[in-house]
Protein backbone atom coordinates (compact mmCIF):
# COMPACT_ATOMS: atom_id res chain seq x y z
CA UNK A 1 0.00 0.00 0.00
CA UNK A 2 2.78 2.39 0.96
CA UNK A 3 4.57 1.54 -2.28
CA UNK A 4 1.45 2.33 -4.33
CA UNK A 5 0.99 5.70 -2.59
CA UNK A 6 4.65 6.55 -3.23
CA UNK A 7 4.27 5.77 -6.92
CA UNK A 8 1.14 7.92 -7.13
CA UNK A 9 2.94 10.80 -5.42
CA UNK A 10 5.91 10.51 -7.77
CA UNK A 11 3.62 10.50 -10.83
CA UNK A 12 1.70 13.48 -9.45
CA UNK A 13 4.90 15.45 -8.83
CA UNK A 14 6.23 14.60 -12.29
CA UNK A 15 3.00 15.74 -13.94
CA UNK A 16 3.02 18.93 -11.85
CA UNK A 17 6.59 19.71 -12.93
CA UNK A 18 5.69 19.02 -16.55
CA UNK A 19 2.68 21.34 -16.32
CA UNK A 20 4.86 24.07 -14.78
CA UNK A 21 7.40 23.75 -17.59
CA UNK A 22 4.64 24.02 -20.21
CA UNK A 23 3.26 27.08 -18.41
CA UNK A 24 6.67 28.78 -18.33
CA UNK A 25 7.36 27.96 -21.96
CA UNK A 26 3.98 29.33 -22.89
CA UNK A 27 4.73 32.49 -20.93
CA UNK A 28 8.05 32.83 -22.71
CA UNK A 29 6.44 32.20 -26.07
CA UNK A 30 3.80 34.87 -25.48
CA UNK A 31 6.38 37.40 -24.31
CA UNK A 32 8.68 36.75 -27.26
CA UNK A 33 5.76 36.76 -29.69
CA UNK A 34 4.60 40.10 -28.32
CA UNK A 35 8.03 41.55 -29.05
CA UNK A 36 8.12 40.12 -32.57
CA UNK A 37 4.64 41.25 -33.51
CA UNK A 38 4.92 44.71 -31.97
CA UNK A 39 4.92 47.59 -34.44
CA UNK A 40 6.91 50.77 -33.95
CA UNK A 41 5.28 53.34 -31.70
CA UNK A 42 7.11 56.21 -33.37
CA UNK A 43 7.20 57.90 -36.76
CA UNK A 44 10.20 58.86 -38.87
CA UNK A 45 9.41 62.51 -38.09
CA UNK A 46 9.63 61.80 -34.36
CA UNK A 47 13.05 60.19 -34.88
CA UNK A 48 14.16 63.36 -36.66
CA UNK A 49 12.84 65.56 -33.86
CA UNK A 50 14.61 63.38 -31.27
CA UNK A 51 17.97 63.86 -32.98
CA UNK A 52 17.35 67.54 -33.62
CA UNK A 53 17.04 67.88 -29.85
CA UNK A 54 19.68 65.38 -28.68
CA UNK A 55 22.51 65.41 -31.25
CA UNK A 56 24.57 67.91 -29.24
CA UNK A 57 24.31 65.61 -26.22
CA UNK A 58 25.27 62.58 -28.31
CA UNK A 59 28.33 64.49 -29.56
CA UNK A 60 29.37 65.34 -25.99
CA UNK A 61 29.31 61.67 -24.96
CA UNK A 62 29.94 59.64 -28.13
CA UNK A 63 31.80 62.10 -30.33
CA UNK A 64 31.12 62.03 -34.07
CA UNK A 65 30.72 58.23 -34.21
CA UNK A 66 27.36 57.63 -32.54
CA UNK A 67 27.45 53.87 -32.02
CA UNK A 68 26.90 52.12 -28.68
CA UNK A 69 28.92 48.98 -29.51
CA UNK A 70 32.32 50.54 -30.07
CA UNK A 71 36.02 50.53 -29.34
CA UNK A 72 37.68 52.99 -26.96
CA UNK A 73 39.71 54.18 -29.95
CA UNK A 74 36.90 54.51 -32.49
CA UNK A 75 39.34 54.32 -35.41
CA UNK A 76 39.74 50.62 -34.59
CA UNK A 77 35.98 50.17 -34.95
CA UNK A 78 35.92 52.07 -38.23
CA UNK A 79 38.91 50.16 -39.61
CA UNK A 80 37.14 46.94 -38.64
CA UNK A 81 34.04 48.09 -40.53
CA UNK A 82 36.09 48.98 -43.61
CA UNK A 83 37.50 45.45 -43.62
CA UNK A 84 34.23 43.70 -42.76
CA UNK A 85 32.13 45.57 -45.30
CA UNK A 86 34.88 45.13 -47.86
CA UNK A 87 34.97 48.59 -49.39
CA UNK A 88 36.91 48.89 -52.65
CA UNK A 89 38.57 52.04 -53.96
CA UNK A 90 36.24 54.22 -56.00
CA UNK A 91 33.01 52.54 -54.94
CA UNK A 92 29.83 54.56 -54.52
CA UNK A 93 28.27 53.71 -51.15
CA UNK A 94 25.22 54.83 -49.19
CA UNK A 95 25.25 55.54 -45.45
CA UNK A 96 21.62 55.10 -44.37
CA UNK A 97 21.03 56.91 -41.09
CA UNK A 98 24.38 58.68 -41.18
CA UNK A 99 24.31 60.85 -38.05
CA UNK A 100 26.82 63.67 -38.48
CA UNK A 101 28.77 61.61 -41.05
CA UNK A 102 31.57 60.57 -38.70
CA UNK A 103 31.94 57.10 -40.28
CA UNK A 104 31.15 58.43 -43.78
CA UNK A 105 33.99 60.93 -43.64
CA UNK A 106 36.39 58.33 -42.26
CA UNK A 107 35.49 55.84 -44.99
CA UNK A 108 35.88 58.49 -47.69
CA UNK A 109 39.38 59.32 -46.46
CA UNK A 110 40.65 55.86 -45.55
CA UNK A 111 38.82 53.57 -47.98
CA UNK A 112 38.72 56.07 -50.87
CA UNK A 113 35.00 55.61 -51.52
CA UNK A 114 32.39 58.17 -52.51
CA UNK A 115 29.70 58.35 -49.82
CA UNK A 116 26.12 59.48 -50.21
CA UNK A 117 24.65 59.87 -46.73
CA UNK A 118 21.08 60.35 -45.56
CA UNK A 119 19.58 61.33 -42.20
CA UNK A 120 16.08 62.27 -41.05
CA UNK A 121 17.46 65.03 -38.78
CA UNK A 122 17.87 68.56 -40.14
CA UNK A 123 20.30 69.38 -37.33
CA UNK A 124 22.52 66.44 -38.26
CA UNK A 125 22.50 67.49 -41.92
CA UNK A 126 23.70 70.98 -40.97
CA UNK A 127 26.41 69.69 -38.66
CA UNK A 128 27.53 67.03 -41.14
CA UNK A 129 27.87 69.58 -43.94
CA UNK A 130 29.98 71.80 -41.71
CA UNK A 131 32.31 68.88 -40.90
CA UNK A 132 32.50 67.91 -44.58
CA UNK A 133 33.47 71.46 -45.57
CA UNK A 134 36.02 71.77 -42.76
CA UNK A 135 37.72 68.57 -43.92
CA UNK A 136 37.59 69.45 -47.63
CA UNK A 137 35.47 66.42 -48.50
CA UNK A 138 32.78 68.12 -50.59
CA UNK A 139 33.61 65.94 -53.59
CA UNK A 140 33.72 62.73 -51.57
CA UNK A 141 30.81 62.92 -49.10
CA UNK A 142 27.36 64.31 -49.75
CA UNK A 143 24.59 64.38 -47.15
CA UNK A 144 20.86 64.54 -47.83
CA UNK A 145 17.93 65.18 -45.52
CA UNK A 146 15.46 62.36 -46.04
CA UNK A 147 13.79 59.15 -44.94
CA UNK A 148 15.61 55.89 -45.65
CA UNK A 149 12.29 54.05 -45.94
CA UNK A 150 11.95 55.68 -49.38
CA UNK A 151 15.49 55.82 -50.76
CA UNK A 152 14.08 55.76 -54.30
CA UNK A 153 12.85 59.32 -53.76
CA UNK A 154 16.43 60.60 -53.42
CA UNK A 155 18.69 58.33 -55.49
CA UNK A 156 18.73 56.44 -58.77
CA UNK A 157 18.04 52.73 -58.65
CA UNK A 158 20.88 50.21 -59.07
CA UNK A 159 23.46 52.93 -58.40
CA UNK A 160 25.32 51.84 -55.23
CA UNK A 161 27.96 49.22 -54.57
CA UNK A 162 27.15 49.15 -50.84
CA UNK A 163 24.28 50.28 -48.63
CA UNK A 164 25.12 50.19 -44.92
CA UNK A 165 23.34 50.84 -41.62
CA UNK A 166 25.50 51.45 -38.53
CA UNK A 167 23.13 51.22 -35.55
CA UNK A 168 20.53 53.14 -37.52
CA UNK A 169 18.42 50.26 -38.84
CA UNK A 170 16.66 49.97 -35.48
CA UNK A 171 15.02 53.37 -35.94
CA UNK A 172 13.00 51.94 -38.83
CA UNK A 173 9.24 51.94 -38.38
CA UNK A 174 9.05 49.12 -40.94
CA UNK A 175 12.12 46.89 -41.21
CA UNK A 176 10.92 45.06 -44.30
CA UNK A 177 10.28 48.30 -46.18
CA UNK A 178 13.81 49.50 -45.41
CA UNK A 179 15.36 46.22 -46.60
CA UNK A 180 13.35 46.42 -49.82
CA UNK A 181 14.27 50.08 -50.31
CA UNK A 182 17.97 49.25 -49.99
CA UNK A 183 17.55 46.50 -52.59
CA UNK A 184 16.39 49.05 -55.14
CA UNK A 185 19.51 51.14 -54.61
CA UNK A 186 22.04 48.33 -55.01
CA UNK A 187 23.71 47.31 -58.23
CA UNK A 188 23.58 43.57 -58.99
CA UNK A 189 26.33 42.11 -56.82
CA UNK A 190 26.10 45.04 -54.39
CA UNK A 191 26.24 44.53 -50.62
CA UNK A 192 23.82 45.35 -47.83
CA UNK A 193 25.48 45.61 -44.41
CA UNK A 194 23.61 46.02 -41.12
CA UNK A 195 25.26 46.43 -37.71
CA UNK A 196 22.71 46.81 -34.96
CA UNK A 197 21.17 45.53 -31.76
CA UNK A 198 18.58 42.75 -31.86
CA UNK A 199 16.20 41.32 -29.26
CA UNK A 200 17.98 38.82 -27.03
CA UNK A 201 16.61 35.29 -26.80
CA UNK A 202 15.84 34.47 -23.16
CA UNK A 203 18.26 31.80 -21.93
CA UNK A 204 15.70 30.78 -19.31
CA UNK A 205 11.93 31.39 -19.53
CA UNK A 206 11.87 33.54 -16.39
CA UNK A 207 13.91 36.24 -18.16
CA UNK A 208 11.50 36.71 -21.07
CA UNK A 209 9.37 39.35 -19.33
CA UNK A 210 12.47 41.24 -18.14
CA UNK A 211 13.82 41.33 -21.69
CA UNK A 212 10.47 42.48 -23.04
CA UNK A 213 10.30 45.27 -20.44
CA UNK A 214 13.82 46.56 -21.14
CA UNK A 215 13.35 46.41 -24.91
CA UNK A 216 10.22 48.52 -24.53
CA UNK A 217 12.11 51.00 -22.35
CA UNK A 218 14.83 51.41 -24.98
CA UNK A 219 12.32 51.70 -27.81
CA UNK A 220 10.28 54.32 -25.97
CA UNK A 221 13.29 56.35 -24.83
CA UNK A 222 15.22 56.41 -28.12
CA UNK A 223 12.38 56.15 -30.66
CA UNK A 224 13.78 52.77 -31.58
CA UNK A 225 12.21 49.58 -32.90
CA UNK A 226 14.69 46.89 -31.87
CA UNK A 227 14.45 44.16 -34.48
CA UNK A 228 14.02 40.44 -34.08
CA UNK A 229 16.93 38.76 -35.89
CA UNK A 230 14.78 35.96 -37.29
CA UNK A 231 12.22 38.39 -38.68
CA UNK A 232 14.94 40.43 -40.38
CA UNK A 233 16.50 37.32 -41.89
CA UNK A 234 13.06 36.31 -43.16
CA UNK A 235 12.64 39.69 -44.88
CA UNK A 236 16.12 39.42 -46.40
CA UNK A 237 15.48 35.93 -47.76
CA UNK A 238 11.98 36.84 -48.94
CA UNK A 239 13.34 39.70 -51.03
CA UNK A 240 15.90 37.42 -52.63
CA UNK A 241 19.19 38.63 -51.15
CA UNK A 242 22.11 36.23 -50.93
CA UNK A 243 22.71 35.90 -47.19
CA UNK A 244 26.49 36.07 -46.96
CA UNK A 245 27.19 36.39 -43.25
CA UNK A 246 25.50 36.73 -39.86
CA UNK A 247 27.74 37.01 -36.84
CA UNK A 248 28.39 38.55 -33.48
CA UNK A 249 30.62 41.60 -33.83
CA UNK A 250 34.20 40.37 -33.54
CA UNK A 251 36.24 42.91 -31.61
CA UNK A 252 38.97 42.09 -29.04
CA UNK A 253 37.94 42.66 -25.43
CA UNK A 254 40.94 44.91 -24.80
CA UNK A 255 39.73 47.28 -27.54
CA UNK A 256 36.09 47.26 -26.47
CA UNK A 257 34.65 50.32 -24.76
CA UNK A 258 32.42 49.36 -21.86
CA UNK A 259 28.74 49.86 -22.63
CA UNK A 260 28.55 52.16 -19.60
CA UNK A 261 29.11 54.95 -22.15
CA UNK A 262 25.33 54.68 -22.53
CA UNK A 263 25.07 55.43 -18.80
CA UNK A 264 27.04 58.64 -19.37
CA UNK A 265 24.45 59.71 -21.93
CA UNK A 266 21.64 58.77 -19.57
CA UNK A 267 23.25 60.75 -16.74
CA UNK A 268 23.57 63.78 -19.02
CA UNK A 269 20.04 63.68 -20.41
CA UNK A 270 18.01 61.69 -17.89
CA UNK A 271 16.82 59.45 -20.73
CA UNK A 272 16.09 55.82 -19.74
CA UNK A 273 18.39 55.97 -16.72
CA UNK A 274 19.19 52.54 -15.26
CA UNK A 275 18.86 52.74 -11.49
CA UNK A 276 20.19 49.30 -10.52
CA UNK A 277 22.88 47.94 -12.83
CA UNK A 278 23.38 44.87 -10.62
CA UNK A 279 19.88 43.59 -11.40
CA UNK A 280 19.66 44.93 -14.95
CA UNK A 281 18.92 42.30 -17.61
CA UNK A 282 20.77 43.22 -20.80
CA UNK A 283 18.02 42.79 -23.41
CA UNK A 284 19.87 42.83 -26.74
CA UNK A 285 22.60 41.19 -28.78
CA UNK A 286 24.73 43.03 -31.32
CA UNK A 287 24.99 41.36 -34.73
CA UNK A 288 26.36 42.08 -38.17
CA UNK A 289 24.45 40.99 -41.26
CA UNK A 290 26.00 41.03 -44.72
CA UNK A 291 24.05 40.12 -47.83
CA UNK A 292 24.36 40.51 -51.58
CA UNK A 293 21.90 41.49 -54.28
CA UNK A 294 22.05 38.70 -56.89
CA UNK A 295 23.51 39.17 -60.32
CA UNK A 296 21.26 38.97 -63.37
CA UNK A 297 23.62 36.73 -65.30
CA UNK A 298 24.31 33.03 -65.04
CA UNK A 299 28.01 33.41 -65.74
CA UNK A 300 28.27 34.81 -62.20
CA UNK A 301 25.74 32.44 -60.72
CA UNK A 302 27.42 29.35 -62.12
CA UNK A 303 30.53 30.06 -60.08
CA UNK A 304 29.01 31.67 -56.98
CA UNK A 305 25.59 31.53 -55.32
CA UNK A 306 24.07 29.84 -58.38
CA UNK A 307 20.93 28.67 -56.55
CA UNK A 308 20.03 32.21 -55.48
CA UNK A 309 20.68 33.54 -58.98
CA UNK A 310 18.47 30.87 -60.54
CA UNK A 311 15.77 31.66 -57.99
CA UNK A 312 16.04 35.37 -58.77
CA UNK A 313 15.57 34.59 -62.47
CA UNK A 314 12.50 32.48 -61.75
CA UNK A 315 10.88 35.05 -59.48
CA UNK A 316 11.32 37.80 -62.05
CA UNK A 317 10.39 35.59 -65.00
CA UNK A 318 13.78 35.95 -66.58
CA UNK A 319 14.91 33.47 -69.20
CA UNK A 320 18.49 32.48 -69.86
CA UNK A 321 18.37 33.76 -73.45
CA UNK A 322 17.28 37.18 -72.18
CA UNK A 323 20.43 37.66 -70.12
| pLDDT tens digits for range 124-148 | 999 999 999 999 999 999 999 999 9
CA distance 23 to 26: 5
CA distance 312 to 189: 12
Instruction: Report pTM.
Output: 0.84
CA distance 277 to 106: 34
CA distance 322 to 65: 45
pLDDT over 90 at 291, yes or no:
yes
Please tell me the class of the 39-292 domain. Answer: alpha beta
CA distance 245 to 111: 21
Radius of gyration over every alpha carbon of the chain, rounded to an integer in angstroms: 23
pLDDT attached to residue 118: 99
pLDDT attached to residue 21: 42
pLDDT over 90 at 239, yes or no:
yes
pLDDT attached to residue 252: 85
pLDDT attached to residue 236: 97
- Backbone phi and psi for residue 315, each to the nearest 5 degrees, phi listed first: -60, -40
DSSP conformational letter for 293:
P
Please answer whether residues 64 and 104 qualify as being in contact, where contact means their C-beta atoms are separated by less than 8 angstroms. no
- Please tell me the least confidently modeled range out of 58-62, 209-213, 223-227, 274-278: 274-278
| pLDDT tens digits for range 246-269 | 999 888 888 887 666 777 888 899
| pLDDT tens digits for range 4-55 | 555 554 544 444 544 444 444 454 445 444 445 456 778 999 999 999 999 9
| Domain parsing of the chain, residue ranges | 39-292
pLDDT over 50 at 88, yes or no:
yes
Instruction: Give residues with Cβ within 8 angstroms of 249, minimum separation 6.
Output: 69, 195, 286, 287, 288
Amino acid sequence: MTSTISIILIVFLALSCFALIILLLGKRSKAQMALREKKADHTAREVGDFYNKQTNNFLKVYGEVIQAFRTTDVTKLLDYQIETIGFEKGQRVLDAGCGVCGPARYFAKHADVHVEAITISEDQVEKARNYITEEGLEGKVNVTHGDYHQLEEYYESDSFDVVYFLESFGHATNHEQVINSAWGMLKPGGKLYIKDLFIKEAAVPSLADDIQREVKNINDAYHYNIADLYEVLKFIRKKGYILSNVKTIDLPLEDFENLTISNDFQDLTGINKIENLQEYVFPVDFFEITCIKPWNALEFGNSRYFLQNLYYMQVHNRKQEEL
